[in-house]
C-alpha cells in the first residue's frame, strides 16, 4: 500500500495554503503537480548541461543529446514500445493527434474515407479530424455511449465499414472516467484491417500501458498529466506506419539533405521532430516516468481504485448528487440538484461554475465546465459539470474535505 503522507512530501506545492486554508488539489485530470525530482532534474540540466541537441560537436551538446535520447529510451520502456524509432516527442496529446491527422491523413485518407471516433472524445480527438475533413472530404463517424456512460460496442462494430480507415478513441474519458475496453476495440478494428489511435492522456497516469500488448497503431500522451512538465508529450507509432507517413512540419533536424530543388527526410523518429525540441522537458518527463515506476504503476492503479471507490461512496451520500459515468474512477464528474431550485428548466441544478467557485474559496481545487468535451455535454443534456480528479498523492481525508465543502456550499442555494 502506498505511503501517501510520505509521497506528499515529494510535492512541495501540496503543502501550501489558498485563502488561508490547506490546498486540496483535485484537478489532476487537467494537470498533475510535479515531484521535486522532476524540477531538480530540469534545473540541473539548465544550470549544468544546457546546449542544443543533435547539432553541436561540443561536449555539452553531446551530453544534452545523450540526456534526450536516454529520455526517449525511458519513454519506450514505460509504454512498452519495440524501438525508440517509434517514440516521437511532441508538445502533448493534442499535437500528437494533430500530427497523425495531418500526416497519416495526407498519406492514407481521401474523399469518402471514414474515421471512427466516439461521443466521449476530448476536442483534441474531434477537431483535428474536422480540419482534415475540410481538407480532404473524409467522413467522421461517431460511436455512441450508453446511458451509463460506456461505449456502445455493438454500435461500434456496426460503424466499421469498408470505408473505415482509422479508429481514434480515448482510453479513459476525461469527464466520465470511463475506462474503455481498448484492447477489444483494437482487436475488432484490426479484424477489419483498420488501424487504431489511442488517446492515452488520461490513462498514462493511472494504469499500465503496453503498446505491444495492446497492438495499437498510434498512442498519444501528455507529459504534464503524468507528473512531468508542460510542453512535452509523446506520439507512439508503429515503425512501418511512421515510415510511410510524410513529415508533419518542416525545418531543422527533420531533414536528410536539403537543396532548393529537393529535400530528403531524416530517419525515425527525427523526421517528425522539426526544430529545436524541448530537450529539458524530455528529461523532466523521463524523471517523472521513473518516479511513477519507482512507486509502481500497478500500486498506483490499485490505490486510486480504492480512493475512487471511497470518493464515489461518500459523494453519493450527499443530497441531490448526480454523478456522470461509471464508478469507480479517479475522475468524478457531478452536478447537484438543490431542493430550493427545483421547478426550474434545468431541473434545479446548482450551476457548476457557482459550485466550483465556492469550493475554491474553501481551498478545494476542482475543474468546472464542459472539460473540452462539448459534444459529450450535449449527449448528457447538460452544459457542464464539476469535476474532481485524483492522483496518487490524494488522500481519503481530502475526499472528506471535498464532501464537507460540497455540503456546506450546497446549503447556500
Ligand atoms: N484534458 C482536462 O482538464 P493536452 O492539452 O494536449 O495536454 O491534452 C489534451 C487532451 C486530450 N485527450 C484527453 C482525454 C484529455 O483529457 C486532454 C486534456 C484536460 O480534461 C485539459 S482540457
User: Would you tell me the crossing angle of helices 279-295 and 36-48 to the nearest 10 degrees?
Assistant: 150
Instruction: Give the CATH number of the domain where residue 317 resides.
Output: 3.90.1150.10
Same-domain pairing of 240 and 334: no
What 3-state DSSP class applies to 234?
Answer: strand
The residues near 2 (Cβ < 8 Å, ≥ 6 apart) are 295, 299, 300, 303, 392
Is 38 a domain residue?
no
Residues in contact with ligand 1 (CB, 6 Å cut-off): 29-30, 92-94, 122, 124, 170, 174, 199, 201-202, 222, 367, 371-372
- pLDDT number for residue 338: 87
* Protein residue closest via CA to atom 19 of ligand 1: 30
Same-domain pairing of 134 and 189: yes
Q: Which of 91, 120, 122, 235 gets mutated to test ligand 1 (max ligand atoms within 8 A of its CB)?
A: 122
- Along the 413 residues of the chain, how does pLDDT read in single tens digits? 899 999 999 999 999 999 999 999 999 999 999 999 999 999 999 999 999 998 779 999 999 999 999 999 999 999 999 999 999 999 999 999 999 999 999 999 999 999 999 999 999 999 999 999 999 999 999 999 999 999 999 999 999 999 999 999 999 999 999 999 999 999 999 999 999 999 999 999 999 999 999 999 999 999 999 999 999 999 999 999 999 999 999 999 999 999 999 999 999 999 999 999 999 999 999 999 999 999 999 999 999 999 999 999 999 999 999 999 998 999 999 999 988 888 787 788 999 999 999 999 999 999 999 999 999 999 999 999 999 999 999 999 999 999 999 999 998 88
Number of structural domains found in the chain: 2
Same-domain pairing of 246 and 359: no
Distance 225 CA to ligand 1 centre (A): 8
With CA atoms as reference, report the closest residue to 234 among 80, 108, 127.
80
Same-domain pairing of 150 and 63: yes
Range of the domain at 404: 4-26+296-410
Distance 145 CA to ligand 1 centre (A): 19
* Protein residue closest via CA to atom 2 of ligand 1: 30
* Protein residue closest via CA to atom 8 of ligand 1: 93
Question: H or E segment at 143?
Answer: strand 139-143
Distance 30 CA to ligand 1 centre (A): 7
* Protein residue closest via CA to atom 3 of ligand 1: 30
Position in ligand 1 atom list of the atom nearest CA 27? 3
Position in ligand 1 atom list of the atom nearest CA 372? 22
Is 321 a domain residue?
yes
Distances (CA, A) of 148 to 46, 86, 152, 229, 406: 48, 36, 10, 34, 24
Give, as one character, the DSSP assignment of residue 14: G
Distance 260 CA to ligand 1 centre (A): 39
Is 106 a domain residue?
yes
Is 33 a domain residue?
no
- pLDDT number for residue 63: 97
* Protein residue closest via CA to atom 17 of ligand 1: 201
Instruction: Give the CATH number of the domain where residue 255 resides.
Output: 3.40.640.10
Same-domain pairing of 140 and 275: yes
Q: How far apart are CA 113 and CA 110, in angstroms?
A: 6
Question: Domain boundary residue among 274, 294, 314?
Answer: 294
Q: How far apart are CA 168 and CA 191, in angstroms?
A: 16
pTM > 0.85: yes
Is 384 a domain residue?
yes
Same-domain pairing of 238 and 307: no
- pLDDT number for residue 339: 81
* Protein residue closest via CA to atom 1 of ligand 1: 30
Distance 389 CA to ligand 1 centre (A): 13
Same-domain pairing of 183 and 260: yes
Is 35 a domain residue?
no
- pLDDT number for residue 327: 87
Same-domain pairing of 312 and 236: no
Distance 250 CA to ligand 1 centre (A): 26
Position in ligand 1 atom list of the atom nearest CA 199? 12
Is 104 a domain residue?
yes
- pLDDT number for residue 56: 78
Q: Which residues pair with 266 in a beta bridge?
A: none
Is 70 a domain residue?
yes
Question: Domain boundary residue among 271, 294, 317?
Answer: 294
The residues near 20 (Cβ < 8 Å, ≥ 6 apart) are none
Distance 242 CA to ligand 1 centre (A): 24
Same-domain pairing of 273 and 329: no
Question: Domain boundary residue among 227, 261, 294?
Answer: 294
Q: Which of 206, 372, 373, 390 gets mutated to test ligand 1 (max ligand atoms within 8 A of its CB)?
A: 372
Q: How far apart are CA 256 and CA 180, in angstroms?
A: 40
- pLDDT number for residue 394: 98
Catalytic position from the list 143, 216, 372, 403:
372
Same-domain pairing of 208 and 302: no
Same-domain pairing of 259 and 160: yes
Same-domain pairing of 283 and 352: no
Q: Which of 179, 222, 224, 389 gets mutated to test ligand 1 (max ligand atoms within 8 A of its CB)?
A: 222
Catalytic residue list contains 216: no
Amino acid at each position: 500500500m502506498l505511503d501517501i503522507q510520505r509521497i506528499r512530501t515529494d510535492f512541495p506545492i501540496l503543502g501550501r495554503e489558498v485563502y488561508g486554508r490547506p490546498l486540496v488539489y483535485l484537478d489532476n485530470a487537467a494537470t498533475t503537480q510535479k515531484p521535486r525530482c522532476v524540477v531538480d532534474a530540469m534545473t540541473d540540466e539548465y544550470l549544468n548541461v544546457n546546449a542544443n541537441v543533435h547539432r553541436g560537436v561540443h561536449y555539452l551538446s553531446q551530453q544534452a543529446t545523450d540526456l534526450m535520447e536516454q529520455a526517449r529510451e525511458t519513454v519506450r520502456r514505460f509504454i512498452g514500445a519495440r524501438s525508440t524509432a517509434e517514440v516521437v516527442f511532441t508538445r502533448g496529446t493534442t499535437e500528437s493527434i494533430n500530427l497523425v491527422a495531418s500526416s497519416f491523413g495526407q498519406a492514407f485518407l481521401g474523399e469518402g474515407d471514414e474515421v471512427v471516433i466516439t461521443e466521449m472524445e476530448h476536442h483534441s480527438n474531434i477537431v483535428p479530424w474536422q480540419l482534415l475533413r475540410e481538407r480532404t472530404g473524409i467522413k467522421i463517424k461517431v460511436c455512441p455511449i450508453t446511458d451509463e456512460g460506456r461505449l456502445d460496442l455493438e454500435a461500434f462494430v456496426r460503424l466499421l465499414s469498408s470505408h473505415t480507415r482509422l479508429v481514434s478513441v480515448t482510453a479513459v474519458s476525461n469527464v466520465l472516467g470511463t475506462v474503455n475496453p481498448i484492447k477489444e476495440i483494437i482487436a475488432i478494428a484490426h479484424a477489419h484491417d483498420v488501424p487504431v489511435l489511442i488517446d492515452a492522456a488520461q490513462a498514462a497516469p493511472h494504469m499500465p500501458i503496453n503498446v505491444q500488448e495492446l497492438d495499437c497503431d498510434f498512442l498519444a500522451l501528455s507529459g504534464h498529466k503524468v507528473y512531468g512538465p508542460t510542453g512535452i508529450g509523446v506520439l507512439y507509432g508503429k515503425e512501418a506506419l511512421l515510415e510511410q507517413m510524410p513529415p508533419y512540419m518542416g525545418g531543422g533536424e527533420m531533414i536528410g539533405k536539403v537543396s532548393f530543388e529537393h529535400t530528403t527526410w531524416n530517419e525515425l523518429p527525427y523526421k517528425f521532430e522539426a526544430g529545436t525540441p524541448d530537450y529539458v522537458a524530455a528529461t523532466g518527463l523521463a524523471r517523472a516516468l521513473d518516479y511513477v515506476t519507482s512507486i509502481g504503476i500497478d500500486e498506483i492503479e490499485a490505490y486510486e481504485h480504492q480512493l475512487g471507490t471511497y470518493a464515489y461512496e461518500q459523494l453519493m451520500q450527499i443530497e441531490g448528487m448526480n454523478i456522470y459515468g461509471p464508478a469507480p474512477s479517479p475522475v468524478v464528474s457531478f452536478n447537484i440538484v438543490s431542493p430550493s431550485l427545483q421547478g426550474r428548466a434545468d431541473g434545479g441544478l446548482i450551476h457548476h461554475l457557482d459550485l466550483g467557485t465556492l469550493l475554491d474559496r474553501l481551498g478545494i481545487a476542482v475543474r468546472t465546465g464542459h472539460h473540452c468535451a462539448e459534444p459529450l455535454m450535449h449527449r448528457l443534456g447538460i452544459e457542464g459539470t464539476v469535476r474532481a480528479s485524483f492522483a496518487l498523492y490524494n488522500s481519503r481525508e481530502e475526499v472528506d474535505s471535498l464532501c464537507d465543502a460540497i455540503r456546506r456550499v450546497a446549503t447556500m442555494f
